[in-house]
Structures are given as C-alpha cells and as structure tokens.
A = this chain, B = another copy of it.
Amino acid sequence: MSARPALTPLAASLPATVPFVGPEALERQSGKPFRARIGANESGFGPSPKVKAAIAAAADHVWKYADPENFELKAALAQHHGVKAENIVVGEGIDGLLGLIVRLYLSEGQTVVTSLGGYPTFNFHVAGFGGRLVTVPYRNDREDIDALLEAAKRENAKLVYFANPDNPMGTWWEAADVQRLIDGLPETTLLVLDEAYGETAPASAIPALDVSRPNVLRMRTFSKAYGLAGLRCGYAIGEAETISSFDKVRNHFGVNRVAISAALAALEDQTYLRSVIEQVAAGRARISAIAAANGLSAIPSATNFVAVDCGGDGAFALKIMQGLVARGLFVRKPMAPGLDRCIRVSVGTDADMDLFEAELPQVLAEARA
C-alpha cells in the first residue's frame, strides 16, 4: 500500500520510544539476570505477607472486572486519610493519573512548570499532549520552591509539578515550605504535588490535607513503601469537583482487580508498613555509610533511595553506574546538569546492600583509573 492512516500532527511529532530502559532489557542485552535490583526505587522488602495472601485469594475473582467506581478502596483510603471518598480518585499508578491530569487541563501550547531533572514520565505526558515545558534548575539538590513559584506566575502556568520528597535526589522540604508554594500559586494554576515517597518522609514534610482547594492534587501510590510497583495502583487526593473531573476521561474499568485487593490488604497492615519504613531508614543509613567509606558523600534522603555524589562530573558518575550495572547491580542516575554527578541507589535487602558494599570499591577504582 502506498498510503497509510495519518497520525494527528501532534502524534506524528512525538518520538516512538520507551522513555526508561527497563532492567529486563539490560538483562536481555547482557544475557545475565541482575544480582541486585536497586535502580527503580522499588521495594525489595516486598509487600506484607497479608498482601501476598490477598493476591493469591484474588485469583479466584480475576474473571470479574473490578468495580468501576473503586468504591471499597476509595472508602478505605478516605478513612485512612480523614477525607471523603469524593476526594479520592484511584488510577493505574501515579503515572496513569498524571497522564489524565495533563489531558484534562492542558491545551496544546500551554505551559507547564517543573524542575530540570524532575520526573521524566510527567514530562512525557506533557509532551504527549503538546504542552510547553518550562523548567527551573534544582538549588542545592532540592527542587527550588521560590523559583517554581516565580516561573509559574511569570508564565501563567496551567500546571506545576512538584515532588516532595523529590525523585531523583531524595531531598525534601518541610510542610511549611510546601504550604508556601500552595498558597503562593495563582488559583488558576493546578499544583501536582507528587508524594509517591510520602510514607518514607518525616511527618513534618507532609502538609495537612486540605481538600477545599480546587488547585492542588496530592499524588500517592502503593508502588513504593507498600511494595506494589508491579500492580499499578495509585491515587490522587483533592477537592471533590477537581476529583470528579477524572470521571470525564479515565478508563473506568482500568484498575486491576488484584491491585484493588492487594491495596486494601496493604492499607490494613500499617504495622508492616512501619517495619518497612524502619528498614528503609536503616538502608539509607547503610548506603550513606558505604558511600562515606569510599570517600563519596550521600545526599540526605527522605525516600527509599539515596543519591550518591560520586565526587566528579556526569561522565564520571556514568562510569560508576555502568560499572555497577556490568557487575550485576541495577542502579540508575540523574541526567540533568548538576544532578548528574550522582548515582541513584534504591534501598534493598541486606543481601542487595552487601553486594553494593562489595562491588563499589572496585567499580570506583576502575572509574578512577
């Protein structure tokens, strides 16, 4: 055939890429499985045993679509957070919800403000709907609240993305500072406050939920501390009318039934969550100690990973990352100027951390040679 259906001009302009190379692709390239999977901020501790039991039990129900209203999970989340069910929308991970937010609010050419080096999947969605991305550099390895505010006002931004704690640096702001961002934004600018790592942050970093504000969405997930990345279940908390807008475009039967069962069980087992949070804190300390023992400095983190400053430029940190990958340790690294001097190491099990401790000196020696 000579002709073919034409993509929209916007779709035609987009690259057909997989924005993140998955660890599985690297394993296929090398022909060897990774010995430690500590590169995607997954939780090597896994979910609660009660969650695993709920997943196994859910096998008897997978022939049924999930409730399109996600009634039961929203009710449980509402109780957990002290809001109403109408203040919650459940989706296929934060990634899926970010796409819906961009689609709902952003017309082609309109402006979005984020940090240079911030979450690439959000940027992928902005590009995918034809948005104009304005970025603000990090300052002292933190997202720069004042600069974000200034840019949002100057550009009359439709959306501002802010992660607290931050990915990929792990840094965080105290609640009062985040509140300053919330209060300072124009009422017509929607703040996408990504709190994917909220559970591992100090309580003092999380502003009180205020579901009276139509221009703030708080993004949460079961992928990180709850250990359910593979199940794709995230949610947003916000003002009721803002939340109801998702019903205009969401894939109503899109949330996996096993994910719902697992999320309910995970939410119920807060004792397990606390134990994971303690293990994550210990793991961060261990990564910092390993870094220090090798003459490197770890950046303080409130997440389940640590950005380790390799003490050189981006090319040097890239060598470290590649050296670790070649030795079977899956890690990633920030790529933005300034941040790119770091590698990013997820907290893993003791065995994972042992491997990191064992391999880092040799990798460093080779990179320095």
Known: A1-B187, A11-B105, A22-B69. A96 touches B251 (CB 8 A): yes
Residues of B within 8 A of A228 (CB): 62-63
Identify 6 new A-B residue pairs, CB closer than 8 A, beyond the known A8-B104, A51-B59, A99-B251: A1-B214, A5-B158, A7-B248, A16-B244, A22-B65, A46-B60
Q: Count chain B CB atoms within 10 A of each CB in A5, A20, A22 and give the residue with the most.
A: A5
CB pair A69–B25 under 8 Å, yes or no, is: yes
CB pair B63–A248 under 8 Å, yes or no, is: no
Residues of B within 8 A of A301 (CB): none
Name the contact of A47 in the complex, choosing from B63, B95, B99, B121 (C-beta under 8 A).
B63
Asked if A37 is an interface residue, CB under 8 A from chain B, the answer is yes
Closest Cβ neighbor of A241 among chain B residues: B4
Name the contact of A245 in the complex, choosing from B7, B37, B40, B44 (C-beta under 8 A).
B7
Q: What is the count of identical protomers in the complex? A: 2
Closest Cβ neighbor of A102 among chain B residues: B8
The smallest C-beta distance from A91 to any residue of chain B, in angstroms, reads 10
Asked if A229 is an interface residue, CB under 8 A from chain B, the answer is yes
Asked if A64 is an interface residue, CB under 8 A from chain B, the answer is yes
The smallest C-beta distance from A191 to any residue of chain B, in angstroms, reads 9
Main secondary structure of the interface of A (DSSP, over half): loop
CB pair B24–A69 under 8 Å, yes or no, is: yes
The smallest C-beta distance from A239 to any residue of chain B, in angstroms, reads 8
**Count of A interface residues, CB-CB < 8 Å:** 94
Residues of B within 8 A of A369 (CB): none
- In the docked arrangement, what's the CA distance between A105 and B11, Å? 8
CB pair A254–B93 under 8 Å, yes or no, is: yes
Residues of B within 8 A of A44 (CB): 63
Q: Count chain B CB atoms within 10 A of each CB in A106, A258, A259 and give the residue with the most.
A: A258
- In the docked arrangement, what's the CA distance between A8 and B101, Å? 11
Residues of B within 8 A of A40 (CB): 64-65
- Residues 1-44 of A, flagged 1 when their CB comes within 8 A of B and 0 if not, give 11111111101001111111010110010000000010010111
Asked if A242 is an interface residue, CB under 8 A from chain B, the answer is yes
CB pair A232–B256 under 8 Å, yes or no, is: yes
CB pair B18–A252 under 8 Å, yes or no, is: yes
